[in-house]
Amino acid sequence: MKVAFQVNGKRTSADVAPDTPLLWVLRDTLGLTGTKFGCGKALCGACTVHLNGMAIRSCQTPVGSVAGQKVTTIEGLGGNHRVQRAWMALDVPQCGYCQPGQMMSASALLAMNSNPSDQDIDAFMSGNICRCGTYPRIRAAIKAAARMS
């Protein structure tokens, strides 16, 4: 069955079972491997993308449910998004595997809250695990990005 939706501003469609998680459609069908698989159960945030601007876990989102809607992945953040600039300025990534999900969460947070407090960051970002322990830099980079225009 064909599911049509928008990814990173382009219309696309995937001929897959509608219960297929968006994660695997992005990665395997569309070749957008920036979005990562970490747990498959909405526990780690590695697969975070935007659906109509909101952060969602793509491993728990059947592709059928995004028909006609707008999906943005790390590839669609543009490379020069203030979150990405802050991430580069602070050398946030270590292994880097969790970071696309971290940045998609952080950019969704900043879109809603232009000046997040430590508590706001804790609340919004605690769904994204980093096993490398980049948390101090993630926190600092979100604050740095908040100061950028």
Partner 1 sequence: MENIVKNEKRRDFLKASGTVAGGLALGFYLPSGPRVAQAAEAGSSPNAWVRITPDNTVTVLVARSEMGQDVYTSMTMLVAEELEVDINKVKVEIAPPAEVYINSLLGGQVTGGSTSVRDGWEKLRKAGASARMMLVAAAADDWGVAAARCKAVDGVVTGPGNQRATYGSLAAKAAQMEVPKDVPLKPANEFKIIGNVRQKRLDTAAKVRGTAQFGIDTRIPGMAYAAVVLAPTFGGKVASYSDARAKSFPGVKDVVQFSQGVAVVADSYWTAKKALSTLNVRWDGGPNANIDQASIWENMEAASHEAGAVFREHGDIDTGMANAASIVSAEYRLPFLSHSPMEPMNCTADVRADKAVIITGTQFQQLVPHVVAGATGLKPEQVEVHTTFLGGGFGRRLEMDFPIAAAEISKAAGMPVKMVYSREDDMTHDSYRPAGIYKMNAGLDDKGNLSAVRFHSTGPSISARMFPSVVKDGIDPFSVEGIDNFPYTADGGLRFTYQMHDTGVTVGYWRAVSHNQNAVALESFIDELANAAGKDPIQYRMDMLDMGSTKHQWSGLAAGVAVGPRIRRALAQVRAKSGWGKKMPAGRGQGVAVMEGYNSVIAIVAEVTVSDSYDVQIDKVTTVVDAGTLVHPDQALAQIQSSLNFGQAACMLGEITIQNGGVEQDNFDTYRVTRINEAPKTLNIHFIKSNSVPGGLGEPATAVIQPAIANAIFAASGKRVRTLPYTPENIGAA
Based on the shown chain and the rule CB under 6 A, indicate whether residue 57 belongs to the binding site for ligand FES. Answer: yes
| φ/ψ (deg, to 5) at 18 | -65, -15
Task: Please state, as a whole number, how many other Cβ atoms lie within 10 Å of the Cβ of residue 84.
Answer: 20
Stretch binding ligand FES (CB under 6 A), from 4-12, 67-75, 78-86, 95-103: 95-103
Whole-angstrom distance, CA of residue 94 vs CA of residue 133: 8
- Distance of closest approach, residue 60 Cβ to ligand FES, in angstroms: 6
- In single-letter form, the type of residue at position 21 comes to P
Based on the shown chain and the rule CB under 8 A, indicate whether residue 29 belongs to the binding site for partner 1. Answer: yes
Burial bucket for residue 65 (CB in 10 Å: 0-12, 13-18, 19+):
middle
Indicate which single residue of 8, 20, 58, 61 sits in contact with partner 1 (rule: CB under 8 A): 20
The one of partner 1, ligand FES, none whose footprint includes residue 64, by CB under 5 to 8 A per kind, is: none
Structure tokens at 30: 């569309």
Cβ density class 118-140: b for 16+ within 10 Å, e for less = eeebeebbeebbbeeebbebbbe
Stretch binding partner 1 (CB under 8 A), from 4-12, 50-58, 85-93, 107-115: 85-93
- Distance of closest approach, residue 53 Cβ to partner 1, in angstroms: 18
- Distance of closest approach, residue 11 Cβ to partner 1, in angstroms: 21
Based on the shown chain and the rule CB under 8 A, indicate whether residue 33 belongs to the binding site for partner 1. Answer: yes
Based on the shown chain and the rule CB under 8 A, indicate whether residue 91 belongs to the binding site for partner 1. Answer: yes
- Distance of closest approach, residue 61 Cβ to partner 1, in angstroms: 13
